[in-house]
């Protein structure tokens, strides 16, 4: 069974009503990155940061997977699929994908401020459970913080993601500007013999001289087109 690796970004979830970060009107227009997505911002104003991610989680719980998510999950019928996502929502899981690597953390989880990547202190919140506020403690006695990889922090799952990229027969990029490293550099680990597809309604610089099949559409329409292309190839 061929190995398919899919790298998804904010454009994957845009059709579900979840704000992108970098587009006009996106989250970074409303909230400076430095305030809500850095360790320094969290240290200066934990109430603001916790409130920001509480609001993002509330939006995620109201959102539903779109057709693009469902078509990604459906690829598992014919391929060995790994989804590597820069998104912090759980829409891939809810659409039925079973093997997902979250590079930038997960809105469904909280963790220790002192030891954010220690599995002993990472906790999954129930949907009906309120988001932590200042004063809520992790198992090590520190303030509970979002289980999110902020700018300036290491990306714990990047080596795992690289391992899967190196095994890919087909590599698919959906809804990412390829401007955020280290995720943007994953394409360089994909074998030269692998087919590479990029789905995005806007032009994207892939920072590579290799051939990339461009499908300049949104996630759902792009995935419909890609499913047809893959089916033709398998005949």
Catalytic residue among 69, 99, 104, 213: 104
Distance (Å, whole) CA 203 – CA 77: 30
Identify the weakest region by mean pLDDT among 14-28, 36-50, 62-76: 14-28
**pLDDT surpasses 60 at 51:** yes
Tell me, yes or no, whether 187 and 121 share the same domain.
Answer: no
Tell me, yes or no, whether 85 and 116 share the same domain.
Answer: no
CATH code of residue 50 = 3.30.1600.10
pLDDT (tens digit, 9 = 90+) per residue, 182-202?
A: 888 999 999 999 999 999 998
Tell me, yes or no, whether 35 and 75 share the same domain.
Answer: no
Tell me, yes or no, whether 214 and 144 share the same domain.
Answer: no
**pLDDT surpasses 80 at 17:** yes
Tell me, yes or no, whether 126 and 205 share the same domain.
Answer: no
Distance (Å, whole) CA 198 – CA 206: 9
pLDDT band of residue 166 (cuts 50, 70, 90) is: very high
Q: What is the pTM of this model?
A: 0.93
- Map residue 106 onto helix, strand or coil: strand
Tell me, yes or no, whether 135 and 198 share the same domain.
Answer: no
pLDDT band of residue 234 (cuts 50, 70, 90) is: confident
Q: For the chain, how many structural domains are there in total?
A: 2
Distance (Å, whole) CA 114 – CA 56: 23
- Cβ count within 10 A of residue 166: 14
Say what the pLDDT of residue 24 is.
47
pLDDT (tens digit, 9 = 90+) per residue, 199-214?
A: 999 888 877 788 999 9
Tell me, yes or no, whether 83 and 118 share the same domain.
Answer: no
Tell me, yes or no, whether 81 and 172 share the same domain.
Answer: yes
Whether 104 is catalytic is yes
Q: Can you give the residue range of the structural domain that contains 122?
A: 24-62+108-148
**pLDDT surpasses 70 at 26:** no
């Amino acid at each position: 069974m061929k190995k398919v690796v899919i790298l998804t970004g904010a454009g994957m979830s845009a059709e579900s009503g979840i704000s992108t970060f970098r587009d006009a009107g996106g989250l970074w227009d409303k909230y400076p990155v430095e305030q809500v997505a850095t360790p320094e911002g969290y240290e200066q104003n934990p109430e603001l940061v916790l409130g920001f991610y509480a609001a993002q989680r509330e939006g995620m719980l109201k959102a539903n997977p779109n057709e693009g998510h469902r078509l990604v999950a459906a690829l598992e019928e014919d391929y060995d699929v790994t989804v590597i996502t820069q998104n912090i929502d759980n829409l891939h899981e809810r659409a039925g994908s079973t093997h997902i690597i979250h590079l930038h953390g997960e809105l469904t989880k909280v963790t220790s401020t002192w030891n954010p990547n220690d599995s002993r202190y990472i906790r999954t919140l129930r949907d009906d459970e309120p988001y932590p506020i200042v004063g809520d403690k992790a198992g090590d006695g520190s303030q509970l913080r979002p289980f999110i990889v902020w700018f300036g922090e290491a990306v714990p799952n990047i080596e795992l993601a690289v391992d899967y990229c190196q095994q890919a027969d087909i590599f698919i990029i959906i809804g990412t500007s390829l401007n955020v490293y280290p995720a943007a550099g994953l394409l360089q680990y994909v074998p030269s013999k692998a087919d590479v597809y990029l789905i995005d309604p806007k032009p994207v610089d892939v920072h590579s001289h290799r051939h990339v099949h461009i499908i300049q559409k949104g996630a759902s329409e792009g995935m419909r087109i890609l499913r047809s292309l893959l089916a033709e190839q398998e005949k």
